[in-house]
Chains A and B, each alone.
Chain A
Amino acid sequence: MAPLKLAIVGGGPSAFYVASRLLSLLPQSSSRASALKIDMYDRLWAPYGLVRYGVAPDHPEVKNCTHKFAEAAADPRLRFFGNVNIGTDSPIADTLPLSLRALIPHYTHLLLATGCTVPVPHPALPPSPLCVPALSLVHWYTQHPARPAPPPLERTTHVTLIGNGNVALDVARMLLTPPSELAKYDVPTPVLAALERSAVQHVSIVGRRGPFQAAFTTKELREMMALPDAAMVPLDPALLVPPEGAPAPTRQQARTLQLLQKGSKNAFGTTRKTWSLDFFREPRALALPASSSAGTARPRLTLGHTELDAAGRAVAVDGETTLETDLVVTSLGHRAEPSAPWADAALGHTRTARGRVLDADGRVVRNVYASGWAAMGARGVLASTMLDAYAVADTILQDHFPGEDVHTTPVSERDAVRAEEAVEVLPREVDVHAIPGEVESGWREGRVTDFEDWKAVDSEEVRRGEVLGKERERMVWEEAREFLAFARPRNVRA
């Protein structure tokens, strides 16, 4: 029976959903159980990807999915290795670099579950201390190992978000929610301290199209409207009328329209803090004024006006608005790292067909797959990632057991890959237990983490949180490494 020894690059939700699905489709009781081995690698020292380092702290229920991930990791056929950076440049210190060439000889199958980690910039707004991607704030408040500089909130009164999807609303909500309300979640202590010193009074959320095209969803909009200490600037009622000739609003659009019409729980003018949705505005430039009294110069953001063309795209019209703001935060989506293996620069992620990776010439790369945002682009929440992961798991098993009926998610077409058309990069025979030597020695020196390490850190973070009356107190890598040197010393084989 041919081995299915799978390396998964990435340890976030799509990786765990594929792994979990494969393990449960070939349960321990199956005669084929021993054919399956999965080694999962993440360049962060902790698993779970965006679930740990992306989901907002005040949405803890979303993170319940990690229980299923931990159950998958309890299967002895799955191993996790953290702090291993495969094949790309990494901004994160102390990771073990590993080339794909060093990984490949050990595996018969490869799954790319590397997400979309690069923020899309705005062409008119080069990164600077005045203009940061939303990802850097998310990384700051989740204590992501990339360690971005914290925003200088103590001297920031006005923040402008460019983009009106859920990430923008998450950032706005984190800046406008009273820190005392956030204290019970897993917001790191230094972040809470910075939020307590924050001078932010207004957050503008700028979108280049209108309310019917906004990417936020109802739950997040509802949370903004319910903020206890902030009020929304009322919208021009003309904006809330569906454009002439437009198709009937979707259910979600109809419900968000109701929320926008109703406005915020607190009437504008009754609260210290405010926020606004600024539709049909597109950034043109961000500058410090040339001459003004020292120390009082504020950045000025120039916003062009837009309208929708016949195809529903934003086009510029006459008119400009200037906003004095202290910090601009771009939240325009993400794309995959261009240096990632088989990344398609034009597409912004890996090119696939039913989960099978395609090379630059459009040929299937045998036994190489991609799932989640790495394959789909940075769209969708856990539900869509899960569905995609399960479909990819189906494809992996269809390819490995041709002619058998792997049919656990509905499929509309079936296509077997003809052997002569596929590109070969992976070996057909491997040592089923071996891992690259660099990973083995990295683990021995305490630089590479495994899942038992994560479980120990996880418990410790929760324990430290209990002392402080919060969900958990997150550790940074240095703290985790020090803790593990004591709790799981490497001279004792687990």
Chain B
Amino acid sequence: MSARNTFPAPPINRPLGRPLRRGFHTTAATFHGGIDRPEPGTGIKVHFQDAKGNPLKTIEANEGDDLLSIAHEYDIDLEGACEGSVACSTCHVVIDPDHYDLLPEPEDDENDMLDMAFGLTDTSRLGCQVRLTKELDGMTATLPAATRNMFVDGKKPTHH
């Protein structure tokens, strides 16, 4: 018996309608959860794929939805540690070149976070900053490969 599906990708537990965190952020946290699914066939299509190019899901969403919220709505394994406030790089995605060119340039704060992202490419963006417009229909978003240097395997630290 195949054990392929024994450990499905974990559902992202994000309660709908979570209140915007009250506080004094210099960058407003994106309001997550509660994005509406458009009627099938009427929305903007996004193809999510894994680092190897295997398709994960093709979904539809509405104009203005950001890729991080979309991933969470459709249980795609994209993390957002800082919850869309451009304070981390965990929602890093790679956009297909044609659609990447249609996106507005990243601001300094997004670029600062991308500086630290793993597997950065020329068409990388933070998912929380990519908002859908009609011209992005058919965009492909690839989840980047994680590096394997997380395991030290007994190496001595390099001495400076």
Interface residues of A (CB under 8 A from B): 21, 24-25, 27, 58-62, 64-65, 67-68, 71, 184-185, 208-209, 213, 217-219, 222, 251-252, 255, 312-314, 346-349, 351-355, 358, 362, 375-377, 381-384, 386-388, 391, 397, 401, 403-412, 470-471
Contacts and interface: CB of A to CB of B under 8 A. Distances in A.
Contacts of B25: 60-61
Nearest to A312: B160
Q: Chain B contact residues: over half helix, strand or loop, or mixed?
A: loop
Nearest to A213: B160
B81 A64 contact: yes
Given A25-B10, A62-B88, A383-B116, 6 more contacts: A62-B87, A184-B24, A213-B160, A351-B154, A382-B82, A470-B24
Contacts of B109: 219
Interface in B93-119: 108-109, 111-113, 115-118
A411 B148 contact: yes
A376 B13 CA distance: 28
B160 to A, nearest CB: 6
Nearest to A59: B87
Contact of B86 (A61, A209, A346, A362): A61
Contacts of A381: 88, 116
Given A61-B25, A61-B82, A408-B9, A386 B152 contact: no
A92 to B, nearest CB: 27
Contacts of B151: 352-355, 375, 388, 391
Interface string B48-91: 00010000000000000000000000000101011101111110
Contacts of B152: 347, 349, 351-352, 375-377
B99 to A, nearest CB: 21
Contacts of B26: 58, 61
Contacts of B85: 61, 64
Interface size class of B (residues with CB under 8 A): 35 or more
Contacts of A348: 157
B105 to A, nearest CB: 14
A52 to B, nearest CB: 15
Given A217-B116, A383-B116, A64 B10 contact: no
A102 B102 CA distance: 60
Given A209-B160, A381-B88, A387-B146, A404 B112 contact: no
A21 B10 contact: yes
Nearest to A251: B115
30 contacts: A27-B10, A59-B87, A64-B85, A65-B81, A68-B81, A184-B24, A208-B160, A213-B160, A217-B116, A218-B111, A222-B108, A222-B112, A346-B156, A347-B154, A347-B156, A352-B153, A353-B151, A354-B153, A358-B154, A362-B154, A375-B151, A377-B152, A382-B82, A387-B118, A387-B147, A397-B7, A406-B6, A410-B145, A410-B146, A411-B148
B40 to A, nearest CB: 26
A36 to B, nearest CB: 13
A383 B118 contact: yes
B77 A353 contact: no
Nearest to B145: A410
A255 B115 contact: yes
B94 to A, nearest CB: 14
A408 B10 contact: yes
Contacts of A24: 10-11, 13
B160 A412 contact: no
B11 A383 contact: no
A355 B153 CA distance: 9
Contacts of A21: 10
